[in-house]
């Protein structure tokens, strides 16, 4: 008797830089400042189904660097990937889209952010390694508290 259960499929179709924005609103005067800038880094993860068995997963980074109340630079980048994901149990889709896919996309985002900042004339900003499992768990907990 043949097994009718199809094997799970997980394939990367494409990784791409979806959005990139860099602003230096106070240049060139801010470039002459000697003070150490404050760096605020925010990350977000998202996903959506784009076709049957095909999903886009993205990681978004916002890096805001300031001296006092003046912006040195602000960069927003969204790195995304298209993944074919089929024949997975429904309870595994969340972790795959919330942890596995962002883990694949994130190194590309790190490189693109560092490159863009350096091309703007600043020392590169190296985004830290991220524990996407902990981030996913945190998002689940926040979603649970918001619905409660």
Q: Is the dihedral of CA 95, 98, 100, 103 positive or negative?
A: negative
pLDDT tens for each residue of 56-107: 999 999 999 999 999 999 999 999 999 999 999 988 999 999 999 999 999 9
Is pLDDT at 140 greater than 90 in this prediction? no
| Cβ count within 10 A of residue 9 | 12
CATH of domain 9-126: 3.10.420.10
Confidence of residue 138 (pLDDT cuts 50, 70, 90): confident
Residue 96 corresponds to which tokens in the numbers above?
């795959």
| Domain coordinates in residue numbering, the chain | 9-126
Across all residues in the chain, what is the average pLDDT? 91
pLDDT score of 46: 93
pLDDT tens for each residue of 16-31: 999 999 999 998 998 8
pLDDT score of 6: 85
Instruction: DSSP letter for 8, please.
Output: P
Is pLDDT at 147 greater than 70 in this prediction? no
Phi, psi of 137 (to 5 degrees): -60, -40
pLDDT score of 4: 57
Strands (E), the chain: 9-23, 38-51, 54-67, 70-86
Q: How many angstroms separate the CA atoms of 139 and 46, rounded?
A: 11
């Amino acid at each position: 008797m043949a097994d009718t259960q199809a094997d799970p499929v997980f394939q990367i179709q494409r990784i791409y830089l979806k959005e990139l924005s860099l602003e230096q609103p106070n240049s060139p005067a801010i470039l002459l400042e000697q003070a150490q800038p404050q760096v605020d880094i925010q990350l977000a993860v998202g996903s959506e189904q784009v076709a049957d068995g095909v999903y886009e997963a993205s990681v978004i980074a916002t890096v805001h660097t300031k001296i006092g109340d003046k912006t040195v630079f602000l960069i927003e980048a969204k790195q995304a990937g298209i993944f074919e994901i089929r024949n997975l149990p429904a309870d595994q889709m969340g972790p795959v889209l919330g942890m596995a896919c962002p883990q694949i996309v994130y190194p590309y985002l790190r490189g693109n952010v560092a490159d863009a900042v350096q091309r703007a004339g600043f020392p590169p900003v190296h985004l830290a390694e991220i524990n996407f499992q902990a981030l996913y768990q945190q998002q689940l907990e926040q979603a649970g508290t918001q619905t409660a």
